[in-house]
Amino acid sequence: MSLGASGVSALVSYIGSLTAHQSLGSQSVILNGSRAPGRPLLDLFLQLVAIASAAAPVLLVFYLLARDGEGPSAIGVDFSQPWRDLRRGAALAAVIGGAGLGLYLIAYKSGVALNVVAESLPDIWWRIPVLLLSALQNGLLEEVLVTGYLLTRLKKLGVRSWQAVAISATLRGSYHLYQGLGGFLGNAAMGVIFAVLFLRWKRATPMIIAHTLIDAVAFVGYAVLAGHVSWLP
The radius of gyration of the chain from alpha carbons, rounded to an integer in Å, stands at 18
Check pLDDT > 90 for residue 123: yes
Check pLDDT > 90 for residue 199: yes
Q: What is the rounded distance in angstroms from the CA atom of residue 111 to the CA atom of residue 115?
A: 10
The reported pLDDT for the residue numbered 113 is: 87
What is the DSSP code string of 141-201? HHIIIIIIIHHHHHHHTT--HHHHHHHHHHHHHHTTGGGBHHHHHHHHHHHHHHHHHHHHH
- Rounded to an integer, the average pLDDT of 103-116 is 88
How confident is residue 146, by pLDDT bands cut at 50, 70 and 90?
very high
Check pLDDT > 90 for residue 135: yes
The reported pLDDT for the residue numbered 121 is: 96
The reported pLDDT for the residue numbered 232 is: 77
Is the separation of the CB atoms in 152 and 196 below 8 Å? no
State which H helix or E strand residue 136 sits in: helix 127-142
